[in-house]
Amino acid sequence: MIKDYRTLLILALAGFVFFALSMKKATDQDFVKYQKAYYAELGAEFPGAEIKQVNVPTPAGAIIDRCQSCHVGVSNPEAVDFDLPLATHPPIVPGLAEDPHDFNEIGCVVCHDGNGRAVEMHDAHGEFHGWIKPMLTGPIAQASCVRCHAMESGNLAGAELYEKGRELFLEKACWGCHTIAGISSSSQAPELTDAGGKFKFDYLVESIVHPKANDENSKMPEFDWVDDEETVMALATFLKGQQKNRLRTENSAPIGYIKPKSDILRITEPSVAAGRAMFAGVPFEGTIAKGGCINCHAFRNDDGTLSGGHIGPELTWTLRNRGAEFVKDHIVNARVHTPDSIMPTFKDYNDAELDSLVKFLETFEYKLDSSADGQRLYDTYCISCHGPELKGDGVVSAMLDPLPRDLSKYQFVASYDERFKNSILNGVGGTAMPAWKNVLSEEEAETLVEFIKSKSLTEEQSFKRMEVELPMVGDPERLDYKGKGTVIVEANPAHGQEAFQKFCTSCHGKLANGKGPNAYDLVHPLPRNLINKEFISQAAVTDERLYESILLGVAGTPMPAHDHLSDQTILDIIAWIRMNTTEEAK
């Protein structure tokens, strides 16, 4: 019996100790210390600790906000010189006699995110693992203005960083790849309409600065301007503000919103000045025409120096190489002529805007003098795609599909050097290789060919490609080992498709688009896209060339010889490839 009383006494004492410790902890929390310090600063008597809570009604339910339990003086002008977290909140809208934001109504979480239910700093600031909304501090909190204010267009006082980010989204041509509802409609990259709702601010910054950090297969380039912290922070703030769930309703009265003009101004008269502004991605005489070509493309000034980005091909000679109609088609939809191009689709331009860009490109007149040697010709016209060592790894090569030809392989150079001059002067259809015949003379093209050969071939290297002829109907079958008198008959595309699926898909893919399961494990160059109509239909790609490439392989590339296939099977495959790239097949 006595033992039972002792046990109960011990339990009671333990409970009392735990109760005392919990009370001590409750009265010793940070918010209690801050409240005591606040009243001491005011010279007023401490009325006792309390958890100050604001309930912010929203369409999805109330937001619980206890931030002012620590940030006691946010609404008190007398606390302007107090230390954080006791100080008055700086004016959100500078210059107003009275800031329209009432923290007793909206709290802090609405703007700053974090965990409003917590009263311990680490938890309240959302700094623990897995919390999707860490606190936004300083100017980046402007990303939250859109939750309450109508910021789809116009200007909002106090949200300058956000508005700068909106301008940069257009100037840096982000709109060309990414859709944001009401701003852009491209579909080449992930939609960003709810980017701020899905991703943390730091994740957005990282994705801008290092696009492959979270997706090694990302095609987003690393732009020259990512080293500019102000630019990146403004863009990330704008993207963080893209959230589908907002607090305002259709009937709410936004504060500080300037309604834009109902008439959207567009360029209506083509001009060089308008084209220059579009190329740079800046407004032109009040228009909202979007551009930003300079972020990806470079051009040469009159002295030959380069200006612009290094993501896409240099545009100094584009009008002379391609012609105005090709350029306009390429801007509107690059895949019309180059099916694998990653260039964004700028389908919203009107005729005047397209003509303005063409007029600006027409002002590029730089050209080397006729005495330039092979090295200088190559360094000026070829190096950005084909690279300094001719390996097809130039500064813009990573963004080209198909990749530029590797001209360093002596087997390829020894086998196909007769094609080089034609490819230089007339281009390679369906690829980024343009026709240079309006820029380079035949003599300059020949100088380039000799330069390539001099860099790729040595006296010790010897390679001679077999010569074969395209079999014709009635010719004997090459693999008629038993002498049965088998002869070639009319090619059958259906049989060709069956053979292609059996022998070719691991590299060229079931669709024949060059994207087979083994394609990206191969060395440069990657398998050819055989449904690229612009490539297959060019005069240089004859049936004889296709027959040679299948039978003998392509020297200096991963394409092996398929001499185990009968001539009839190869011709059937060629017939299927041809049929697959006709207008009817498209």
- Regions of the chain with pLDDT less than 50: 253-263, 584-586
Residue 574 lies in a domain: yes
| Sign of the CA dihedral with 406 first, then 412, 414, and 417 last | negative
- Residues 179, 207, single domain; the answer is yes
What integer pLDDT is reported at residue 365 of this predicted model?
A: 92
What integer pLDDT is reported at residue 70 of this predicted model?
A: 93
The pLDDT tens digits of the residues spanning 552-586 come to 999 889 999 999 999 999 999 999 999 988 754 44
Placement of tokens 């360029």 in the chain: 267
> Element (H or E) spanning 205, and its range?
helix 201-209
What integer pLDDT is reported at residue 259 of this predicted model?
A: 47
Residue 265 token pair = 């101004």
Tallying the residues shown for the chain, one arrives at 586
Q: What is the pTM of this model?
A: 0.79
The Cα 7–Cα 440 span in angstroms is 102
Domain boundary among 361, 387, 416: 361
Largest Cα separation within the chain, whole Å, is 117
- Residues 94, 201, single domain; the answer is no
The Cα 319–Cα 299 span in angstroms is 12
**For residue 294, what is the domain's CATH number?**
1.10.760.10
| Sign of the CA dihedral with 72 first, then 74, 75, and 76 last | positive
Residue 312 token pair = 């896409």
At 422 the three-state DSSP class reads helix
Placement of tokens 């008269």 in the chain: 269
| Start-to-end Cα distance in the chain | 96
Residue 547 lies in a domain: yes
Tally of domains within the chain: 5
The Cα 225–Cα 257 span in angstroms is 30
The Cα 313–Cα 384 span in angstroms is 7
- Residues 118, 6, single domain; the answer is yes
User: 47: how many CB neighbours lie within 10 A of its CB?
Assistant: 8
- Residues 114, 156, single domain; the answer is no
What integer pLDDT is reported at residue 439 of this predicted model?
A: 95
What integer pLDDT is reported at residue 404 of this predicted model?
A: 93
The pLDDT tens digits of the residues spanning 510-519 come to 999 999 999 9
CA 338 from chain centre, in angstroms, equals: 19
Residue 140 lies in a domain: no
What integer pLDDT is reported at residue 582 of this predicted model?
A: 76
- Residues 516, 436, single domain; the answer is no
- Residues 231, 299, single domain; the answer is no
Domain membership of residue 341 as a residue range: 272-361
- Residues 13, 98, single domain; the answer is yes
- Residues 299, 347, single domain; the answer is yes
The Cα 144–Cα 130 span in angstroms is 20
Residue 132 lies in a domain: no
Residue 462 lies in a domain: no
The Cα 416–Cα 422 span in angstroms is 11
Residue 483 lies in a domain: no
Residue 207 lies in a domain: yes
- Residues 380, 334, single domain; the answer is no
- Residues 6, 120, single domain; the answer is yes
Domain boundary among 124, 142, 168: 124
Q: Taking a C-beta distance cutoff of 8 angstroms, is the pair 544, 559 a contact?
A: no
User: 556: how many CB neighbours lie within 10 A of its CB?
Assistant: 21
The Cα 476–Cα 148 span in angstroms is 80
Q: Taking a C-beta distance cutoff of 8 angstroms, is the pair 48, 35 a contact?
A: no
- Residues 380, 344, single domain; the answer is no
Residue 327 lies in a domain: yes
What integer pLDDT is reported at residue 346 of this predicted model?
A: 87
- Residues 346, 290, single domain; the answer is yes
The pLDDT tens digits of the residues spanning 314-364 come to 999 999 999 999 999 999 999 888 888 888 888 888 999 999 999 999 999
What integer pLDDT is reported at residue 289 of this predicted model?
A: 65
